[in-house]
Structure 1
């Protein structure tokens, strides 16, 4: 492939990925939550689903690779909106535990169902063969980007 054609293809790919990213930002708001808050709430629900009734703030910050201060800031917003509750650990009063409320769990379930329906529709739109090919190419892309940027 000549250099001009490669640059043109790279530009087209960058533009397409940019459009997909912008669409995600537009649709990223869930019930008035910022995307970071929605992801945080989903993480609380996910970490609680393994049989644990609550999760430590430190575990949340580690899982999301953010500071505990950042986690506390997001938790405050989610608590004000009624999606989580915070309470002291009975064994160690210095430790704060977090649990999703019923409305928090319902919001995450609803969001996950809508997200899954989007991809079910995409598979129906593309067909099985093209969907598998898209998935294969996206996985190769993820590995390339991860190796390139070292993340």
Structure 2
């Protein structure tokens, strides 16, 4: 394997390693606020900008509609979100954060900020901005496939 191939492989492996570590940290944080998965945090975060349809939530979080429906139902049972029919399209279900959902998200953001600072503050702002740009490009490229 040439150096380019080794570098690509190394990047992929390191992304998975980073993902596993973030998942471990995230599971600990969400368990402290009564959520059962990191994906539920992603859903609450996606809803922080306003109500979204199940379809849009799935697109924003890269979760299938079938899985999204189950996750939203569990969030609903926990009192974190409510659902309602879209007045403009009766086939579409919209999801909204409850006050508990908003409070939970605010707590998670505080936890996340404290946790992020432990590792992210070690990077210069320019490094962090460059890294974020690279991640966004990778996400866009993977979405094209």
TM (norm. structure 2) is 0.67
Q: Any unmatched runs of 5+ in structure 2?
A: none
Q: Any unmatched runs of 5+ in structure 1?
A: 49-53
Give 2:144's aligned residue. Answer: 150
SS in structure 2 at match of 1:105:
helix
Report how many aligned residue pairs link the two structures: 140
Q: CA RMSD in A?
A: 3.6
CA spacing shift, 1:9–1:93, aligned 2, 3 Å: closer
CA spacing shift, 1:148–1:109, aligned 2, 3 Å: closer
**In the alignment, is residue 115 of structure 1 matched against residue 112 of structure 2?**
yes
Instruction: Give the C-alpha shift of residue 121 in structure 1.
Output: 4.1
TM (norm. structure 1) is 0.65
**In the alignment, is residue 103 of structure 1 matched against residue 100 of structure 2?**
yes
**In the alignment, is residue 60 of structure 1 matched against residue 74 of structure 2?**
no
The structure with more radius of gyration:
1
CA spacing shift, 1:56–1:122, aligned 2, 3 Å: same
Give 1:132's aligned residue. Answer: 126
1-structure distance, mates of 2:89, 2:83: 14
